[in-house]
Amino acid sequence: MGHAQPVSSFNLHHSKPYKVKETSRVRASETELKDKLVSLNRVAKVTKGGRTFSFAAIVVVGDGDGTVGQGLGKARDVSEAIAKAVDDAKKNLVKVPVHKGTIPHPQLGKYGAGRVLIKPASNGTGVIAGGAMRAVLESAGVHNVLAKSMGSSNPHNVVKATINALMLLRSPQTIAKERRISVDKVFGQPVNRPDATEA
């Protein structure tokens, strides 16, 4: 007996893996990026001479206009670990659709044991999300969104699951082009037709 989907009331695009054309790689030199430290973990290695400490940093970078990326850096020094993470994040930049400060539609994202749900919100709502998800969404330029982490709380999985959800988003222009209809019809706005007025 299968488990019930907790978010079955939403039209989530997670059953079919979409190849999103607009989610393209972005070069770090093409845009001005700001970085945010998500997590800093100290790792102790026990050796014959005692303990050796090293640091692992997770960093999210973005331009606040639809470009976002994440990276991991490891080093013996905190500042060096963060610098490595920033460089790694700049190599993993992707472009995601942001529509009027929010996302186009609800979307479920997965990575490993991480599972997140993001939903569009009206203007003035703000970013309703936890720490790791908030860093990703704010870096991507999403100002109004409702987000919920429903799986692992590990920041590695949460960050990657959130970016996965953003990469699966499709803009209204893309949907209109695929369906060969106007953008107004995608939003359900009535289209004035001559035969409709005559009837």
* Sign of the dihedral defined by the CA atoms of residues 34, 125, 116, 94, in that order: negative
**Using CA atoms, how far apart are residues 142 and 74, in angstroms rounded to an integer?**
29
Question: Which CATH number fits the domain that encloses residue 70?
Answer: 3.30.230.10
116: in domain: yes
Model confidence pLDDT, tens digit, residues 50-64: 999 999 999 999 998
Residue 82 lies in a domain: yes
Pair 101, 143: CB distance under 8 Å: yes
Inside any domain, residue 12: no
Please check whether residue 36 lies inside any domain of the structure. yes
For the chain, the domain total comes to: 1
Q: Flag whether 167 is in a domain.
A: yes
pTM of the entire structure? Answer: 0.77
Q: Is 87 within the bounds of a domain?
A: yes
The average confidence (pLDDT) of the chain is 81
Phi, psi for residue 172 in degrees, rounded to 5: -60, -35
| Cβ proximity of 93 and 76 under 8 Å | no
State the average pLDDT over residues 35-63.
Answer: 93
Query: Which DSSP helix (H) or strand (E) runs through 127?
Result: strand 127-128
Within a domain: residue 33?
yes
Domain, as residue range, for 166: 28-178
Task: Note the pLDDT tens digit of each residue in 78-137.
Answer: 999 999 999 999 998 998 888 888 998 899 999 999 999 999 999 999 999 988 999 999
Question: How many CB atoms sit inside 10 A of residue 11's CB?
Answer: 8
- Does the residue 91 lie in any domain? yes
